[in-house]
Amino acid sequence: MPTRWRLLTRSPTGRLAFHGWLTSRLLLLISALLVAWTSGTPLPLVFSRWDVAQFAAIASDGYTELTQAAFFPGLPALMAAGGMIGLPAWLTGTLLALVASGAAAWALYRLAGGGGAGALAVWGWSLAPMAVFSFAAYSEAPFCAGAFWAWELARRGRWGWAGLWASVAMAFRVSGLFLLVGLGIMALMQAWHDRRHSLGRAIGLRAVGLIGPLAVLAAYVVFLKLRFGSWLVWFEAQRQGWGRAFHWPWQAIINTARAAGIGAAGDDNSVMFLAELLVYLIGALLLIWLMRRAWRRWRAGGSQTLRRVASGPTGPRQAYTSSHVLGDLRGSSPSGSDEPSYPLAAAGLVGSSWLALSCQVWLMSLSRSLLIWFPGFVAGAVWLTEASSPQQQRWHRVMAAAILLASTLLMLWWANRFFRGMWAS
């Protein structure tokens, strides 16, 4: 067993985080088994709903239809590899999701600074209402594993490894572009405060980590051009398959509100459109909070308090906490640390995703994107584990328990919809 994994499982809070991830996987598995048992549906079909079937078709026959271009090749390629040893595509994807969600949870634990905050962040992410998409053979789990580890390594200045993990993320989802926005902002911030090198050299040293994911994206675009004859195939696939085309955000909000039954008669899918509106609001609030954090950090210390990264062999290694991701929640700089925090970079990740998914005919896939917005899980966990008095600590524990309970019930309801083949985002 790797040394770092032993250290995680030996830590009480590390074990607590592991139990949170494991609990969520068991609950989702039980949900799938119950659906198969009560409905008489074969288990492979229960696990092959919606996009799983699309990924499996690509793994089996390649990109035969233009609409399949919307799905990045990482997951179908691994499903095809599983097929070579006799594993069905749905099982390969599900096993991959199990491993990848565990890797993502581990990275999230570290991003939140470990301890109680790290454990709570993992519980919150693992039991999120839409966690079924990190359990089923979807691309969310491997993407989150790549994205979370890329962020964890980049904030430590390890841009070579960060680029490798970001390349993994890009191979699975177009959301890799949103990750690159955040990483690009972080790279510029680190380079600006790097006193060891000139600005140009400092930027170049970090830009190397961004070459890999850009190369993955470019390779897929070239493949689609050769396969379907257009550089814009991905956009055309989105338009033909899901009716996605550019609309102003207010138009998307109005259309989604109507589809949700607000001011009109709804249907069985109305509740999912309502969920999209709710997550849209959550994304807006998170983005505002991150921008406010960035502004307050800048006002509080300016460029003098955001010093160079010293994580390499020539500089001292500092203790890393959640404040290095989001900035100290009380407005001060990380105590005793030379590391800049990155609320602006986190805002770039969340904001680019939130805005891109707002400019459609209606709001779609925002609820699933909540799994990618790790700064929200980190911020919530940090706040709930910080308390200035025993009474406040008790209230925070009650709030955390209530939130996790409500989230778990919603997760099971969401999973039931998905496993029964009902629209679940």
The token pair that represents 120 in the structure block: 């709570």
Residue/partner pairs of 224-232 with CB below 8 Å, 24 or more apart: 224/63, 224/69, 227/63, 227/69, 228/63, 228/66, 228/69
The answer to whether the Cα torsion of 35, 41, 45, 50 is positive or negative is negative
Above 50 in pLDDT, residue 1? no
Above 80 in pLDDT, residue 205? no
What backbone phi and psi angles, to 5 degrees, belong to 126? -70, -30
Q: What is the pLDDT of residue 9?
A: 56
Residue closest to 74 by CA, chosen among 211, 209, 212, 168: 168
Q: What is the pLDDT of residue 270?
A: 86
Q: What is the pLDDT of residue 379?
A: 92
Q: What is the pLDDT of residues 110-140, one digit of tens each?
A: 999 999 999 999 999 999 999 999 999 999 9
Decide: 287 and 307 in contact? Cβ < 8 Å: no
Query: How buried is 371 (Cβ within 10 angstroms: 0-12 exposed, 13-18 middle, 19+ buried)?
Result: buried
Average pLDDT estimate for 18-35? 97
Average pLDDT estimate for 77-85? 96
Q: pLDDT category, 258, cuts 50, 70, 90?
A: confident
Lowest mean pLDDT among 27-41, 94-108, 181-195: 181-195
- Lookup result for tokens 């985002």: 425
Q: What is the pLDDT of residues 301-319, one digit of tens each?
A: 554 444 443 344 343 333 3
Q: pLDDT category, 299, cuts 50, 70, 90?
A: confident
Above 80 in pLDDT, residue 330? no
Q: What is the pLDDT of residue 294?
A: 87
Above 70 in pLDDT, residue 163? yes
Q: What is the pLDDT of residue 332?
A: 34
Average pLDDT estimate for 221-236? 95
Decide: 8 and 109 in contact? Cβ < 8 Å: yes
Q: Which range has the top average pLDDT, 11-25, 181-195, 204-218, 354-368?
A: 11-25
Q: Which range has the top average pLDDT, 16-25, 196-205, 300-309?
A: 16-25
Average pLDDT estimate for 349-357? 94
Q: Measuring CA to CA, how many Å separate 213 from each of 147, 165, 184, 217, 329?
A: 11, 9, 12, 6, 32
Average pLDDT estimate for 310-338? 38
Cα separation of 201 and 6, whole Å? 38
Above 70 in pLDDT, residue 147? yes
Share of the chain above pLDDT 90, in %: 67
> For residue 277, which amino acid is it?
L
The token pair that represents 23 in the structure block: 């609990």
Q: What is the pLDDT of residue 100?
A: 98
The answer to whether the Cα torsion of 133, 151, 192, 322 is positive or negative is positive
Backbone Cα Rg of the chain: 21
The token pair that represents 196 in the structure block: 């060891």
Cα separation of 142 and 165, whole Å? 10
Q: What is the pLDDT of residue 190?
A: 85
Residue closest to 133 by CA, chosen among 272, 288, 286: 272
